[in-house]
Amino acid sequence: MTDPRARHQDLVQQIEQHRAAYYGDDAPTVSDAEYDALERDLRALEAEYPELAEPDSPTQTVGSAGVATGFATVKHRERMMSLDNAFSLEDVAAWLARVGKEAGDHELVCEPKIDGLSISLTYIDGELTQGLTRGDGTQGEDVTANVRTIRGVPRRLNGKHLPNLVEVRGEVYLPIKDFEALNEALLADGKAPYANPRNTAAGSLRQKDSTVTASRPLAVTTYALGALDWGDTAPDPRLALQSGIYQVLTDWGLPVSEHAKVLRGIGDIEAYLRELEAKRHSLVHEIDGAVLKVNDRAVQRSLGNTSRAPRWAIAYKFPPEEVHTTLEDIRVDVGRTGRVTPYGVMAPVTVAGSTVTYATLHNAHEVKRKGVLIGDTVVLRKAGDVIPEIVGPVIAARTGAERAWTMPTRCPSCGSVLAEQKAGDKDLRCPNSEFCPAQITHRIAFIGSRGALDVEVLGDKAAAAMVESGVLANEAELFDLTEEDLRRVPMFVYEVDEKITKKQADAGVVGRQAGDVGENGRKLIANLALAREQPLWRVVVSLSIRHVGPTASRALAAAFGTMGAIRAASVDELAAVEGVGPTIAESVRQWFDVPWHANIVDRWAAAGVRMADERDDSTPQTLAGLTIVATGSLEGFTRDEVKEAIVAHGGKASSSVSKATDYVVVGANAGSKADKAERLGVRILDEPQFVRLLEHGVSAV
């Protein structure tokens, strides 16, 4: 068993090293989630062995003491505390029970937890006199000259009712759009991009030359007060509440969060946290959670503080979306349109609630831009349902054993020479679309996807098995499959005989024999029969025509009505369809002009796949001329059913919100589209209103 004191010393050493990298170099070598895990381990160990919890333990201190940065250190008039963390709603409920006689006993202020750099601004007689970083909580770095360059920090407070002295606490950050623009400019100059907005903001604020800081579009949000001296002036009565602090800060001309809310009870808090997490990527700054504070400042004072954190506040941390892991290899995948995409193979790691082993690297240019090497410790990001992405390497973790990766020149599946489809393309493609096994496999699997013909069982493994066994030469033969064909595919047949009892045999149970087609094989044949009856737009999607997704397919099916009419249409006729345009029209025309492509359609038609939509003139065109966007989950419609209902009633189903949008239909867990609709003044409908709109038109809503 590991000696507790030795384990304690090891944890303390790791945490202090990571703090020094985070606060001193602005170049953390572990993710926030990994750091939080170390602190949780240390707290658990000290709870079990209280004698180990000495005053200088990281659980009792804030920031990183003794980090040399080159700036003068100045003592805060009032300590800048840290926050204890909650990682679940159960943690929040337990905290509520501690701060009140029962959970929800107090009003709370909830606000986003900005991922930036803490700052303290001192105003004397309304004039900005000093700006300090948090440092170790007791003293911070004097960055006054640099703070004065931040546009959102007023040199003088507004109003006449001002204190003699006040310390204003806030967070300095770099807006996401400005961070992206900064990186684009660096890349244009041939320089390495910055890793993330938080580190860039911290580094920008710590520049020795304040003109460099001034060139960075830093912003600030304020949220608290430190030392406060009103002298002979009566204090502002609004400061009796935490929410009142935000009102006063606003009056003084200081920026506060527009997303702060006053709530009561775990139910309201849970709803707020879920809403904030759903729209976290649409905010102007990065956040990693929310901060919850007791609203009544008299209650705050009665609850007091621990050695490092207030008892009346807590930080709720979202599940981590960024972690560190090892990039073990870089390989390439050949997609259904021939695009060759590099992807990273990593040591398995849990991020955003799922275990990730693979992450896209997009193309060879992106691998070079990110500067990743095989063997690197890399930052991995997975935001919600978004495909995992390798953000970049952790340079400080390199050992020298890492090696560069080179893009292959030949297709790993068929050996064809890779090439750009047109000059200047960043993507390389395999030109052998008719015979490349990887492309054929991906196209067949795509046919089975929900966005295409939605064929259960027809996934990547099934498609690969049928291609490898020679049962399918390409997708043209898919609807000719029989159970006899599937006997040649090992994954679809029983490997051994099934023994049954005499009693089962007498009851009519039939034993399964080795080589018989199994349940999945029979299900595949049955589901292919159902897929033959899918509407025309889904059949068009399933052809894997470049640039032709569900929106364009719906438009084509609605405009022409039959596959034959689409196939016979000229580029001009295709381009004239709203939602299609010249690029898609040219792609459709070129696709049908290839003989083996046309053969796919002919074989499917001969096998009974629907090639025409039955016009239903009885459907009222209540949405004629309207552009509608649906976002979030609706109870009575799937995503596809919403779009189909819009189109069937004469409307245009759009995927993006703009000033041209007439309505946005909002369901549960709606994200940035709902926010954008509010900003643009676009009318928002809930599900019952949408149903009335479908049935009766605009007058009903």
Active site residues: 113
Smallest CA-to-CA distance from 213 within 155, 262, 148 is with 148
Tokens of 523: 């299900």
Pairing relationship of beta strands 219-229 and 261-263 according to DSSP bridges: unpaired
Contacts of 37 (CB under 8 A, 6+ apart): none
Identity of the amino acid at 575: A
Phi, psi of 380 (to 5 degrees): -110, 135
Angle at CA of residue 168, ends 165 and 173, nearest 5°? 150
**302: number of Cβ within 10 Å:** 12
Residue 391 DSSP SS3: strand
Contacts of 560 (CB under 8 A, 6+ apart): 566, 569, 577
Measure Cα distances from 352 to 103, 289, 317, 435, 646 in Å: 28, 13, 12, 38, 33
Residue 463 DSSP SS3: helix
Whether residue 362 contacts residue 69, with contact meaning beta carbons closer than 8 Å, is answered with no
Whether residue 250 contacts residue 302, with contact meaning beta carbons closer than 8 Å, is answered with no
Instruction: Give CA–CA dist 22/414, Å, rounded.
Output: 47
Whether residue 289 contacts residue 315, with contact meaning beta carbons closer than 8 Å, is answered with yes
Smallest CA-to-CA distance from 522 within 548, 484, 557 is with 484
**Strand order from edge to edge, sheet including 683-685:** 652-654, 627-631, 663-666, 683-685
Burial 521-541 (b: 16+ CB within 10 A, else e): beebbebbeebeebbbbbbbb
The single residue listed with the structure tokens 């606000």 is 111
Contacts of 419 (CB under 8 A, 6+ apart): 428, 429, 431
| DSSP secondary structure code for residue 173 in this structure | E
| DSSP secondary structure code for residue 499 in this structure | P
